[in-house]
C-alpha cells in the first residue's frame, strides 16, 4: 500500500507541474494578452493543429536557477511551447513563444527548446513553423541569450532548402530576433499587432534624432508593402492560420518529396474562349494577368505570395491538373509589368524556393523590359536583375513559359526563356519578341531617315507599322526553335497541363560544386 500511495503522490506532482506549465504566466498575464487582441501560445497551437494531434516536447524545461537581478523564478516550459502535430493530417514541428512568461523573451533554455525541435524537424523531414511573439533577448542573461539566437540562425540556415520554414509574426519581434524569420521561406505578419525591426524607436531617436512609431517603423504595412520581408499580411489570427494551412497544402514535407498532388475536379482539357480577347489590340493598353492565371489553373484557386510588394510581378501557388505549380508572371496593369529591383528580387527568391522543393514553374510573360532611370541603375538593377537570371538558369524543375504579349530585350531572356533551360516555351499569336519595342527600335535604327523626312511624324508612324508587321510577332522566334509552338489562347490550360505531365520524369542537373555564387 505504501508503494501505491507513493505512486499516487508522484502522479499528483506530475499533474500539478503539467498544469503549472500549461497556465503560462498566470491569469493576469493571460488576460493582458487577450486584452491586446492576441491569443496565448497554446491557443495558437490549438488553432493551427488538427484537434488532439499536438505532442508537446520539454514542458518541464526551465531556467537553471532564480535570477538574482529580477527575482524571476524558474517556470516549467519557460517562454516557449514546442512540439509537433498534424495539419490536415500532415506532420509539422512548431514552436510558439509565450508572451505571458517574461514577455516571451529568449532565454538560454528557451533557445535550447527551439533548437531541439528544429533539429528534429530537419532529421525527420517535416516543415517547421515558428509562432513568434517575443520582446527579444532576455537581457538578464546577457551573451547567453544572444548565443541562443546564433544557434537558431545556424539551424535556419542548415534547414534552408531541406524543409519548408515558416515564421508567423503575432506580436513584437525585435533586435537580433528578426534574422530568424528573415532566413525562413515565408513570413506571415498580423496587421496592427505584428512588428519587426532591428532597432526600436527609442534607440533610433537617441542615435539619429528621428521620431518614428513602432508601427510605422516595423509594422505589417511596412513589411508587406515596402521592405518585402512579409509575404502575407492578415487581419486576425484565425485568417492568418487559415492562410498558413492553405500554403502548407501546396508544399512537400521536404526537399526529397514531390509536392502533394490533388485529384482535379476541374477538367484538365477545359478550354476558355475568353482568353482569345484578353490581350487588347492596342499594344500599350493594360490588362490583368490575374485573369489569365484564374482561367488556366484548377478552380481559379491561386495563393498569391507577396501580393502587396512589387506588384508589377505576380508570384504564387496553384494547381494545374492537380499538380502543384509555382506561377511567375508580369502584371501589365501595374507599371506595365516592367522589371525593376524589387520585382527581380521577389521573382528570383520565389523561383529558387520552387526549385528547392520540386515545384514546377509556370512563367507568364508580358514584359516591356527593365525600368529605366538613374535611380535604378545606381541602386544596382544590373546586380538584382542578374539574380533572376541565376535563379531561372539554375532551376532544374520542370519549367513551362508562355509569352502572352511583349517580351523585349534582356527581359525576354530573363523570364524563363529557352536560353535559360526552360523545357517548353509557348506563345500566343499576340506575342511580340524583339530587342525592343517598335517605337524605340525605329527611333534608333531609322534616326536619320526620320530626321530628313518632309513629315517626320508620318514617316516614323509608317516605319513603326512596318517594324511591327516584320518583327513584333512570335514567328521569328518560333522559326529558330526558341518558341516550341504558337498556340490558340483558348487552349492554354490543356497545353500547359500536357507539358507538365510530359515533364513528370524530368531529370536535370548542374555541374558538381559546393554552391553557386548568386549575385547578392
For position 4, what pLDDT does the model report?
Answer: 60
For position 329, what pLDDT does the model report?
Answer: 98
| Known catalytic membership, residue 130 | no
Per the DSSP assignment, residues forming a β-bridge with 174 are: 197
| Known catalytic membership, residue 25 | no
The Cα angle at residue 428 between residues 426 and 434, in degrees rounded to 5: 85
d(CA 495, CA 134): 49
Q: Which helix (H) or strand (E) holds 290?
A: helix 289-296
| Known catalytic membership, residue 175 | yes
Burial class, 155, CB count within 10 angstroms (exposed 0-12 / middle 13-18 / buried 19+): buried
Written as nine digits, the cell of 126 is: 517535416
Check residue 304 and give left, alpha or beta (phi > 0: left; psi -120 to 50: alpha). beta
d(CA 446, CA 466): 12
In b/e form, how buried is each residue of 50-78, taking b as 16+ CB within 10 angstroms?
eeeebebbbbebbbeeebeeeebeebbbb
> Is 341 within 8 Å of 380 (Cβ atoms)?
yes
The one catalytic residue in 147, 228, 410, 440 is 410
Tallying the residues shown for the chain, one arrives at 520
For position 1, what pLDDT does the model report?
Answer: 46
399 φ, ψ (degrees, to nearest 5): -130, 120
User: Would you tell me how many other CB atoms lie within 10 Å of the CB of residue 508?
Assistant: 12
The one catalytic residue in 411, 427, 434, 472 is 411
For position 64, what pLDDT does the model report?
Answer: 63
Of 83, 150, 91, the closest CA to residue 113 belongs to: 83
Beta strands in 34-127 (DSSP E): 55-57, 80-87, 90-97
Check residue 354 and give left, alpha or beta (phi > 0: left; psi -120 to 50: alpha). alpha
For position 65, what pLDDT does the model report?
Answer: 58
Q: How many CA atoms lie within 13 A of 420 on its CB side?
A: 25
163 φ, ψ (degrees, to nearest 5): -130, 150
Written as nine digits, the cell of 332 is: 501589365
Of 406, 376, 413, the closest CA to residue 392 belongs to: 413
d(CA 243, CA 240): 5
From first to last of its 520 residues, the chain has per-residue pLDDT tens of: 455 668 888 888 888 888 877 888 888 999 999 999 999 999 999 999 999 999 999 998 887 655 555 456 778 889 999 999 999 999 999 999 999 998 999 999 999 999 999 999 999 999 999 999 998 888 888 888 889 999 999 999 999 999 999 999 999 998 889 999 999 999 999 999 999 999 889 889 999 999 999 999 999 999 999 999 999 999 999 999 999 999 999 999 999 999 999 988 999 999 999 999 999 988 889 999 999 999 999 999 999 999 999 999 999 999 999 999 999 999 999 999 999 999 999 999 999 999 999 999 999 999 999 999 999 999 999 999 999 999 999 999 999 999 999 999 999 999 999 999 999 999 999 999 988 888 888 888 888 888 888 888 888 888 888 888 787 889 999 999 999 999 999 999 999 999 999 999 999 999 999 999 999 9
In three-state form (DSSP H/G/I as H, E/B as E, the rest C), the secondary structure along 118-170 is HHHHHHHCCCEEEEECCCCECHHHCHHHHHHHHHHHHHHHHHCCCCCEEEEEC
Identify the sign of the CA torsion 136, 140, 146, 149. negative
The one catalytic residue in 148, 175, 218, 409 is 175
d(CA 116, CA 123): 11
The one catalytic residue in 147, 161, 176, 200 is 176
| Known catalytic membership, residue 321 | no
Q: Coil, helix or strand for 443?
A: helix
Structural domains of the chain in order of their starting residue, each with its CATH number? 2-250 (3.90.226.10), 273-435+472-505 (3.90.226.10), 438-471 (no CATH)
Q: Coil, helix or strand for 232?
A: strand
Amino acid at each position: 500500500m505504501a508503494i501505491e500511495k507513493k505512486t499516487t503522490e508522484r502522479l499528483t506532482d506530475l499533474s500539478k507541474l503539467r498544469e503549472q506549465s500549461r497556465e503560462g504566466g498566470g491569469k493576469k498575464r493571460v488576460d493582458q494578452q487577450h486584452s491586446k487582441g492576441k491569443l496565448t501560445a497554446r491557443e495558437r497551437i490549438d488553432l493551427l493543429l488538427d484537434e488532439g494531434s499536438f505532442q508537446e516536447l520539454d514542458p518541464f524545461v526551465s531556467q537553471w536557477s532564480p535570477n538574482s537581478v529580477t527575482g524571476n523564478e524558474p517556470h516549467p516550459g519557460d517562454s516557449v511551447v514546442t512540439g509537433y502535430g498534424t495539419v490536415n493530417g500532415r506532420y509539422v514541428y512548431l514552436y510558439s513563444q509565450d508572451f505571458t512568461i517574461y514577455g516571451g523573451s529568449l532565454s538560454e533554455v528557451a533557445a535550447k527548446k527551439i533548437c531541439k525541435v528544429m533539429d528534429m524537424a530537419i532529421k525527420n523531414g517535416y516543415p517547421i513553423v515558428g509562432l513568434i511573439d517575443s520582446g527579444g533577448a532576455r537581457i538578464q542573461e546577457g551573451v547567453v541569450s544572444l548565443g541562443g539566437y546564433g544557434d537558431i540562425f545556424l539551424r535556419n540556415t542548415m534547414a534552408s532548402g531541406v524543409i519548408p520554414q515558416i515564421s508567423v509574426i503575432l506580436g513584437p519581434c525585435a533586435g537580433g530576433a528578426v534574422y530568424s524569420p528573415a532566413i525562413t521561406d515565408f513570413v506571415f505578419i498580423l496587421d496592427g499587432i505584428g512588428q519587426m525591426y532591428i532597432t526600436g524607436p527609442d534607440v533610433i531617436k537617441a542615435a539619429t534624432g528621428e521620431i518614428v512609431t513602432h508601427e510605422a517603423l516595423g509594422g505589417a504595412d511596412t513589411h508587406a508593402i515596402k521592405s518585402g520581408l512579409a509575404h502575407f499580411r492578415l487581419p486576425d489570427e484565425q485568417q492568418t492560420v487559415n492562410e498558413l494551412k492553405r500554403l502548407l497544402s501546396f508544399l512537400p514535407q521536404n526537399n526529397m518529396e514531390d509536392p502533394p498532388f490533388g485529384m482535379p475536379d476541374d477538367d484538365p482539357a477545359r478550354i476558355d474562349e475568353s482568353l482569345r480577347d484578353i490581350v487588347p489590340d492596342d499594344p500599350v493598353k493594360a490588362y490583368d494577368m490575374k485573369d489569365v492565371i484564374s482561367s488556366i489553373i484548377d478552380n481559379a484557386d491561386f495563393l498569391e505570395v507577396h501580393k502587396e510588394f512589387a506588384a508589377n510581378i505576380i508570384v504564387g501557388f496553384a494547381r494545374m491538373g492537380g499538380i502543384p505549380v509555382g506561377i511567375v508572371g508580369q502584371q501589365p496593369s501595374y507599371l506595365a509589368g516592367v522589371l525593376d529591383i524589387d520585382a527581380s528580387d521577389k521573382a528570383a527568391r520565389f523561383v529558387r524556393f520552387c526549385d528547392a522543393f520540386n515545384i514546377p514553374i509556370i512563367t507568364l510573360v508580358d514584359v516591356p523590359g527593365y525600368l529605366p532611370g538613374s535611380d535604378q541603375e545606381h541602386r544596382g538593377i544590373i546586380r538584382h536583375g542578374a539574380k533572376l537570371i541565376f535563379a531561372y538558369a539554375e532551376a532544374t524543375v520542370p519549367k513551362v513559359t508562355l509569352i502572352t504579349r511583349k517580351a523585349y530585350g534582356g527581359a525576354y531572356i530573363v523570364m524563363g526563356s529557352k536560353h535559360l533551360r526552360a523545357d517548353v516555351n509557348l506563345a500566343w499569336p499576340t506575342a511580340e519578341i524583339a530587342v525592343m519595342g517598335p517605337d524605340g527600335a525605329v527611333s534608333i535604327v531609322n534616326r536619320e531617315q526620320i530626321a530628313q523626312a518632309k513629315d517626320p511624324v508620318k514617316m516614323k508612324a509608317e516605319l513603326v507599322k512596318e517594324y511591327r508587321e516584320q518583327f513584333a510577332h512570335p514567328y521569328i522566334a518560333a522559326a529558330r526553335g526558341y518558341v516550341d509552338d504558337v498556340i490558340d489562347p483558348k487552349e492554354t490550360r490543356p497545353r500547359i497541363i500536357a507539358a507538365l505531365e510530359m515533364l513528370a520524369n524530368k531529370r536535370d542537373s548542374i555541374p558538381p560544386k559546393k554552391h553557386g555564387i548568386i549575385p547578392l
